[in-house]
Amino acid sequence: MAANRKILLNSGTEIPIIGTGAYAPADAEAQSKVKDWLLTALKNDYRHIDTAVLYLTEAAVGQAIRESGIPREEIFVTTKLPWNHHHRVRQSFEESLHRLGLDYIDLYLIHWPGAVFYDPDNFKPLNPDGTFKTTDSVTFNDSWAELEQLLPTGKVKAIGVSNFSIKTLEQLFKTAKITPAVNQVELHPYLLQKDLRDYCKKKGIVLVAYTPSGYSTVRSDPLILELAAKYKATPNQVILAWHMALGTVIVPKSENNERQKENITLPTLGAEDVERITALDRGERLCNKADKHGQVYGWTYEQLGW
């Protein structure tokens, strides 16, 4: 079963190659269901949960782990520093630990390279013109130095980044003493990010894919449908199997029991079919597209290096 496969990180810890994303909309009804579908995922043999402060699900993750009866050391937990906490890394980390109710976190990521203005009551502060209110008072180099200071505490096993490009990683390496263990980015057949893959492999950074299926846009591609019929699998299973063939860690999210099982019961694709899927790449982002201001959470594609 794919959920049992693990990849060794440069920190010496192992990460399960398939996890479950723990994102949920901010409304009360959706949030109230999180613990239950995470418990279902754990019962379905998932041992890797990917959450974040911005998902508002850390408390539910901790509750699910405790109620599952599964030993803590068997579950890999990722959470992330939010974009408006770049100036308060240690405090934010301790707050995440408290919400999770855990003694340690397996992987802690900088969620977004850009620093957003800190407003404790608003994760998405806006300027009068509707753009994200960012700040230059702290950089991700500063934040990374603080993440590095967390490792000796034993409260985190590995540190990494998310949404970083070659450009922002190069900037990070100007001051970094520790190489990120992970870079979590959008990856799917329409967004291969080959240059970033090659760069991260050279640096010993494991890529983790969010939006791994590419939504219905990729799942409905004629080639994916053809291969789904060939392998007697769902389009989603074919795409996730492609990720497995490339050695990419993935964190698909499903609240549905049967789909959770599907996501870890994957066919083995032939090498030629892997190449055919890889050839679908068109550099198309489906998750974090630029807004009407030409920005993604306050940064332009040029700033992001996208």
Mention every residue, 6+ apart, whose C-beta is less than 8 A from residue 21: 50, 210, 251, 252, 253
Question: What residue type is assigned to position 174 of the chain?
Answer: K
> Which residues of 54-175 form beta strands (DSSP E)?
76-81, 105-110, 156-162
Bridge partners, 209 (sequence order): 185, 250
Pairing of strands 182-186, 206-210: parallel
Nearest alpha-carbon partner for 110 in 133, 83, 90 = 83
The two three-digit tokens of residue 121, written as one number: 């009551």
Q: Cβ distance 212 to 188 under 8 Å?
A: yes
- Catalytic residue list contains 23: no
Number of Cβ within 10 Å of residue 69's Cβ equals 8
Half-sphere exposure of 28 (CA within 13 A, CB side): 0
Q: How far apart are CA 300 and CA 221, in angstroms?
A: 29
Is 111 among the annotated ligand-binding positions? Answer: yes
DSSP label at residue 264: T
Q: How far apart are CA 102 and CA 85, in angstroms?
A: 20
Q: Cβ distance 146 to 89 under 8 Å?
A: yes
Catalytic residue among 55, 108, 118, 210: 55
Bridge partners, 80 (sequence order): 109
Mention every residue, 6+ apart, whose C-beta is less than 8 A from residue 230: 273
Mention every residue, 6+ apart, whose C-beta is less than 8 A from residue 210: 21, 50, 162, 184, 185, 186, 187, 251, 287
Annotated binding site for substrate: 111
Annotated binding site: 111
Active site residues: 55
